[in-house]
Amino acid sequence: MSAVTVDHSTDLRFAGMVASAICGRGMRRIVARPTLIMPVLLMPLIFVVSFTGAFGSLTRVEGYGTDNVFNWMAVYAAMQGAVFAGVGGASTTAEDIENGFFDRLLLTPGSRVPILVGTMAYSALRSTIPTTGVLLVSALGGLRLPGGPLALVTVYVATAGMASAFCLLGLAVVYRFRTMRSMILIQVCGFSLMFLSTGQVPLHFMNGWLHTVARVNPVTNVLRFARQGFLGDLTWSMTWPGLVALGAMVAVAGSLAAHQLRRLAA
Amino acid sequence: MFPLLLAAVYTHQFTRVILLPGFPAVDSFLDFVLPASLVQSVSFGATEAGTELARDIENGFFDRLRASPCMRLPLLLGRLGGAVVVAAVKGVLIIAIFLLFGAEIAGGPAAAVVLVVAAVLLVIAIGGLGQMLAIFTGSQEAVNATFPLVFTSIFMSSAFFPTNLMSGWFREVAEANPVTWIIDPVRRLILEGWSWADVGQALVVPLVISVATVTMAVVALNRKLSSS
């Protein structure tokens, strides 16, 4: 019995070491080449400045939900940044596949799960950079926190979750097609999902097919969860659907990535 | 596809916005967003002329072209010609799709032609900028870096919202943005009808910019040739 227990704990420790090494390698790459993070940081900053500037008068329409456009758009821009961060994490693997490093990684003994977990953790950690950037710029523009500091926690949880989900989805595609170019598929998918949600206006502003699509889009629930502390107090009824949506997206994308990784390694 | 998706989304999410005091009188946001979609659609592919030139410089093909006994100018204009044809086709398609979904052009078919010509001139302007960068840097990456610039220029203009409903420094930037100077007259041709003043502005602004950027690209090419 004791021998079995020792084996399990050793396996777990080894898996943890592999995952943290992969995550650490990604973060060290950012430190070594800061230009890698620039697009991930710049795009959401452009979004928050453009959307708040261009659509500022949306707050004058009755029922918008806030009189401060930064309180609506900041979360949306941060989520866009998280999608970029997630896809960027998967792109690192595409680069590794193209230059042969990934084949060496697959020669290591043990489970493949830590490879997925490590890359996902790297993406989640990476997403904190655009999220922080967007929140700082929005704070300069007048962002308020009616829900208190917990509002910030929900944004970081939501963006880390979105980055994880899109990283795993990106990995599923990368493991299947083995090229950097395939990442454009996920980029388009992420961009479209964000636009087809309540990113810029509340659900009751929409009509026709967009209303139907946005209502069933899981990103809408994640946005509702992440945005609640910027519009008022945090409530459980706004929280749990967002967490379920995030969990479901990570689970589905994770299953796809694991399946494709098993095929690749076989 | 992305500009069309954006137009479809904005049309269905900004139905209440068109009722705001100060918003131009429109039946649907679709009419308002048509010039934005057109400009966005053609602009996204406009740097391709520069990217291709940079690729040829990177892989040495451009040096072989330079060694051939031919005029230098067509090396630039030929690529821009390709971009112009693609932009014209895109322009016609975008307008046809919008009309199919119920958009109306008050200025009639002649205004639609002006729209396409303005879009083509804008593509020459952006393409010339891309070619100049390609000649200066010889790097595809550097030319591709103009994409965020184009993207930002469109969003920080009157493309998706009228400038009179913006405020602060953003409004000043949007009003000083040449994209606004092109989009506003084009939009008036769509919403209000034919006007020679609007036709003039819609064509002269992108024409001046395209002459400037193509001239700069030609000067850059001549300098490169004389220095090597």
* DSSP code per residue over A38-50: HHHHHHHHHHHHH
Cα dist from A93 to A90, A116, A170, whole Å: 5, 10, 9
Determine the pLDDT at residue A8. Answer: 59
Q: How far apart are CA A159 and CA A89, in angstroms?
A: 14
Residue range A165-189: average pLDDT?
A: 88
Which of A92-96, A119-123, A149-153 bottoms out in mean pLDDT, i.e. has the lowest? A92-96
What Cα–Cα distance (Å) separates residue B27 from each residue in B21, B104, B198?
A: 14, 9, 21
Q: Please return the burial class of A46, using the count of CB atoms within 10 Å of its CB with bins 0-12, 13-18 and 19+.
A: middle
Q: Residue B106 and residue B188: Cα distance in Å, rounded?
A: 9
- Best CA proximity match to A202, nearest among A190, A214, A218: A214
Spatial CB neighbours of B37, under 8 Å, sequence gap ≥ 6: B3, B4, B6, B7, B94, B98
Q: DSSP character for B160?
A: S
Give yes or no for B13 touching A (CB within 8 A): yes
Token pair, residue A4, equals 């079995």
Q: What mean pLDDT comes out for the span A217-242?
A: 95
Mutation target among B5, B10, B12, B153 for the A interface, most CBs of A within 10 A? B12
Pick from B186, B73, B80, B182: nearest CA to B126: B80
- The C-alpha torsion from B92 through B3 and B42 to B111, rounded to 10°, is 40
Q: Which of A56, A191, A207 sits opposite B167 (nearest CB)?
A: A56
Task: Sort B148 into a burial class: Cβ within 10 Å, 0-12 / 13-18 / 19+.
Answer: middle
Both tokens assigned to A136: 């700082």
Residues of B with CB below 8 A from A180's CB?
A: none
pLDDT digits (tens, 9 = 90+) for B39-61: 988 887 777 777 888 888 877 88
| A226 contacts: CB under 8 Å, gap ≥ 6 | A75, A78, A79, A154, A155, A157, A158, A159, A242
- Give the nearest chain B residue to A212 (CA atoms): B12
This model of the complex carries an ipTM of: 0.81
Handedness of CA A59, A205, B44, A88 (dihedral sign): positive
Q: Cβ of B161 and A55 within 8 Å?
A: yes
Average pLDDT over residues A63-77: 92
Interface test with A, best of B13, B144, B183 (most A CBs within 10 A): B13
Residue of A225, A260, A229, A265 lying closest to A245 (CA atoms): A225
Q: Would you call B12 and A210 a contact, using CB atoms and an 8 Å cutoff?
A: yes
Give the chain A residue whose CA is nearest to the CA of B158: A54
Indicate if the pLDDT at residue A179 is higher than 90.
Answer: no
- Residue pLDDT, tens place only, B164-204: 999 889 999 999 999 999 999 999 999 998 999 999 999 99
| Phi-psi sector, B68: left (phi>0), alpha (psi -120 to 50), beta | beta
The closest CB to that of A195, out of B6, B17, B160, belongs to: B6
Which of the residue ranges A27-36, A200-209, B1-10, B19-28 would you say has the lowest mean pLDDT? A27-36
Q: Do B166 and A57 make contact, defined as CB atoms within 8 angstroms?
A: yes
Q: Which residues of chain B have pLDDT under 70?
A: 141, 145, 227-228
Residue of A nearest to B151 (CA): A46
What residue of A is the nearest CA neighbor of B19?
A: A61
Are B170 and A208 an interchain contact pair (Cβ–Cβ within 8 Å)? no
The span from the CA of A74 to the CA of A11, in Å, is 42
pLDDT of residue A235: 93
- Give me the pLDDT at residue B73, please: 75
User: What pLDDT is attached to residue B59?
Assistant: 79
Quote the pLDDT of residue A6: 47
Compute the CA torsion angle B200, B205, B208, B214 (nearest 10 deg). Answer: -130
Q: Is B61 on the interface with A (CB under 8 A)?
A: no
Record the tokens describing residue A112, joined without a space.
């493949």
Contact B9 A46 (CB under 8 A): no
Question: CA-to-CA distance for A115 and A105, rounded, in angstroms?
Answer: 9
d(CA A56, CA B88) in angstroms, rounded, equals: 34
Which residues, in sequence order, are CB contacts of A53 under 8 Å at separation 6+?
B156, B166, B168, B170, B171, B173, B174
